[in-house]
Every structure is written in C-alpha cells, then in structure tokens.
C-alpha cells in the first residue's frame, strides 16, 4: 500500500500518478495497481514511468473500470500495488532506439535513466503528451509524430537494438518492417496485453509465440519481435 502524492491529467484520458514509498524495479517492468480496497479483478498492469528513492510514478490511460477508479485518486488516498513484475528490457547493446506509441511511451522515460543516449521516437494518434519531459531526460534526439506513423521516421538499419511498446497493430508493423528492411538490429516488443493476476497464474495474458504459448506477465512483457505470432 502506498500513499498518493499526485494524480494529474496530462492529456485527455491520460494521467500521471505519483505515490510515496520505497519501490524497486528495472526498466520495462510493471506493477499491478488498484485503487483502495483489495479487489484483484480491478488490478491493472501499469509500467514504471519513473522511480526515485522515495517515490514511484506511473503514466496510464483510462481504458476501463480499473483505470477509471485510479483516475479518481486524490493526494493522500491509498494506492494498492504489487510488483515489480515482468522480465523488463534486455541489456541494451550498441546504438539503441526506444519507440513508443500512445501510452506505450511510458516505460521509456524510466529507461532513459539507464540509457540516456538512446534515440527516442514518440507517436500519438491525436494529442502529444510528456514530450517536454522526454526532451529534458534524453541525451539524444526525441522524434515526435502526431496523427501519422512514427515508424515511418525510424531507420531500422541505423540501430543495433530497437525496443517498441504500443498497441498490437503497431508492434506487428514493427515486426513486418524489420523483416522487409532485412535489418540486423535486435528488435524487441513490449506487449500491452490484458492481465489479471500478473504472476503467471491465470493465463489471461497468453501470447502466441513461434515455440508455443507464453505468458505476457511472467515470460514478458518484452519479447524478441520475431518470436511473437501476431493474430
């Protein structure tokens, strides 16, 4: 249980939630969050957006009942959270690009603390948000697209490692474009699957992979792009 410090709307339906406490986690991992009373069905997996000694921040999109309840939290309210869960990002080798679509930008802010030299690509369908914060945190370029495809601005040959997070159609396009480009980059996708338990017990987050079904929460959420079978 943690205490909410702030819960600010940064764009339509997008909130930045800060909670007080000592938490841990590596880049690309997530916590299961719920507002107030224990009610596991309403726990939602939310990536670590930022982490400091006495505080953890999450960036989330209101997409259902669980996140709507989160959006009503006020400073001083209790936030129930478990984690960190998931495998997180791999070790980053060589020139790296972080590619986020929509709320999929969230894990890269924290990742910039470990890899400030990474190039950042942020794509939004209607409204950009947190771009200034990313520009301040990044040591390299921050490329932004609103209304088009951020992937059109990405040269798959320019990087050794690419990590993408966003909706499945975008990640599927990443997989396709890597194959078409014949890029030798290691390309990873961080999946935004629905989850219930977050610990590998319920199978809600099942992912079809070339070597069978895996669990986004326990085996992922980060997979090699070529490993995933997008349906």
Nearer to ligand FES, 103 or 216 (CB): 216
CA distance 211 to 31: 27
By CB under 6 A, residue 19 contacts ligand FES: no
State which of residues 204, 209, 227, 230 lies at the interface with ligand FES (CB under 6 A).
204
By CB under 6 A, residue 207 contacts ligand FES: no
CB neighbourhood size of 120 (10 A): 27
Span near ligand FES by CB under 6 A; candidates 1-9, 133-141, 144-152, 212-220:
212-220
State which of residues 177, 200, 209, 226 lies at the interface with ligand FES (CB under 6 A).
200
Tokens of 85: 């869960």
Question: Using an 8 Å Cβ cutoff, are 123 and 102 in contact?
Answer: yes
Identify which of 29, 36, 69, 34 has the alpha carbon closest to the alpha carbon of residue 51: 29
Which segments of 82-210 does DSSP mark as H helices, in order? 106-114, 131-137, 168-181
State which of residues 201, 208, 213, 229 lies at the interface with ligand FES (CB under 6 A).
201
State which of residues 119, 198, 207, 222 lies at the interface with ligand FES (CB under 6 A).
198
**CA diameter of the chain:** 52
Tokens of 216: 């986004």
State which of residues 196, 207, 222, 225 lies at the interface with ligand FES (CB under 6 A).
196
Near ligand FES in 135-194, by CB under 6 A:
none
State which of residues 205, 207, 225, 228 lies at the interface with ligand FES (CB under 6 A).
205
CB neighbourhood size of 72 (10 A): 12
CA distance 171 to 230: 9
Question: Using an 8 Å Cβ cutoff, are 229 and 209 in contact?
Answer: yes
By CB under 6 A, residue 208 contacts ligand FES: no
Nearer to ligand FES, 5 or 209 (CB): 209
State which of residues 197, 207, 225, 228 lies at the interface with ligand FES (CB under 6 A).
197
Which residue has 């984690």 as its token pair?
83
Residues at the interface with ligand FES (CB under 6 A): 195-198, 200-205, 215-217
């Amino acid at each position: 249980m943690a205490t909410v410090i702030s819960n600010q709307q940064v764009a339509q339906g997008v909130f930045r939630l800060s909670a007080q406490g000592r938490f841990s986690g590596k880049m690309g991992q997530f916590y299961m969050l719920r507002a107030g009373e224990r009610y596991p069905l309403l726990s939602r997996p939310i990536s670590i957006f930022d982490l400091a000694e006495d505080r953890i921040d999450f960036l989330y999109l209101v997409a259902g009942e669980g996140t709507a309840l989160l959006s009503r939290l006020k400073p001083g309210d209790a936030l129930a959270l478990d984690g960190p869960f998931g495998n997180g990002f791999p070790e980053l080798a060589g020139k790296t690009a972080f590619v986020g679509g929509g709320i999929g930008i969230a894990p890269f802010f924290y990742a910039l603390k470990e890899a400030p030299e990474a190039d950042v690509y942020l794509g939004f369908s209607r409204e950009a948000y947190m771009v200034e914060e990313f520009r301040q945190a990044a040591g390299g370029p921050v490329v932004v697209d609103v209304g088009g495809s951020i992937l059109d601005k990405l040269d798959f040959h320019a990087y050794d490692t690419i990590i993408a997070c966003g909706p499945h159609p975008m990640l599927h396009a990443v997989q396709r474009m890597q194959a078409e480009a014949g890029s030798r980059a290691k390309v990873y996708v961080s999946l935004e699957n629905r989850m219930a338990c977050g610990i590998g017990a319920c199978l809600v987050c099942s992912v079809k992979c070339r070597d069978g079904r895996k669990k986004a929460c326990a085996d992922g959420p980060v997979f090699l792009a070529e490993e995933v079978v997008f349906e």
